[in-house]
Chains A and B, each alone.
Chain A
Amino acid sequence: DAKTTQPTSMDCAEGRAANLPCNHSTISGNEYVYWYRQIHSQGPQYIIHGLKNNETNEMASLIITEDRKSSTLILPHATLRDTAVYYCIVRVEDSNYQLIWGAGTKLIIKP
């Protein structure tokens, strides 16, 4: 599976859009991009995933560049409850390959 690179930490003001970048320059054509987050003292929570088109759900939007070498998770109106570690993971969709969890980005939403 391709490796991902994320910033260690980021701040965002409450009510503003939080934009979390992820680099995956070695991604292959059949690998999807997945985003999870982990709020303190809880298990990780699935957010969104995509292959090459931009995706949006009730939690977030996922923007994948045309060359698919990077992506951005957007939380449109961040709240204090969005403070968490955000993980970007790349892997083949339908396989027995496990998810490889990196260190993620610690996002702190400030009032």
Chain B
Amino acid sequence: DVKVTQSSRYLVKRTGEKVFLECVQDMDHENMFWYRQDPGLGLRLIYFSYDVKMKEKGDIPEGYSVSREKKERFSLILESASTNQTSMYLCASSLSRGGYGYTFGSGTRLTVV
């Protein structure tokens, strides 16, 4: 089974801290995605990557950056955490550019205080 592993299930950080969320997939997928999920707003795409060292902005990239130095690892960086970035963060990977077969991690619930 494809596995997408997110480094932390729960995280509490202080306002202004630099936060790293790590995501690793083990099936050699080309494509990786970072979403955030908030009640009433659904899943919103932050950034995605179709290749190593490649990144594309999603709908809500402000306040975030990403890094993909290796194919299996896609990191989300909150440059200076703010309380409005308190959310559930979900990483996903897929083999194709189509809409099928996305595999998601279990998510990281980040609280910024």
Contacts and interface: CB of A to CB of B under 8 A. Distances in A.
A11 interface: no
Contact of B98 (A32, A42, A44, A103): A32
A44 B88 CA distance: 12
Residue among A43, A95, A102 with the highest chain B CB neighbour number at 10 A: A43
> Main SS of chain A's interface residues?
loop
B49 to A, nearest CB: 12
Contacts of B91: 43
A99 B102 contact: yes
B56 A43 contact: no
How many B residues touch the partner, as a band? 20 to 34
Contacts of A89: 99
Interface stretch (B69-77, B79-87, B103-111): B103-111
B21 interface: no
A39 to B, nearest CB: 10
Contacts of A45: 104
A96 B99 contact: no
A64 to B, nearest CB: 15
A98 to B, nearest CB: 5
Interface of A: 32, 34, 36, 41-46, 49, 89, 91, 93-96, 98-99, 101-104
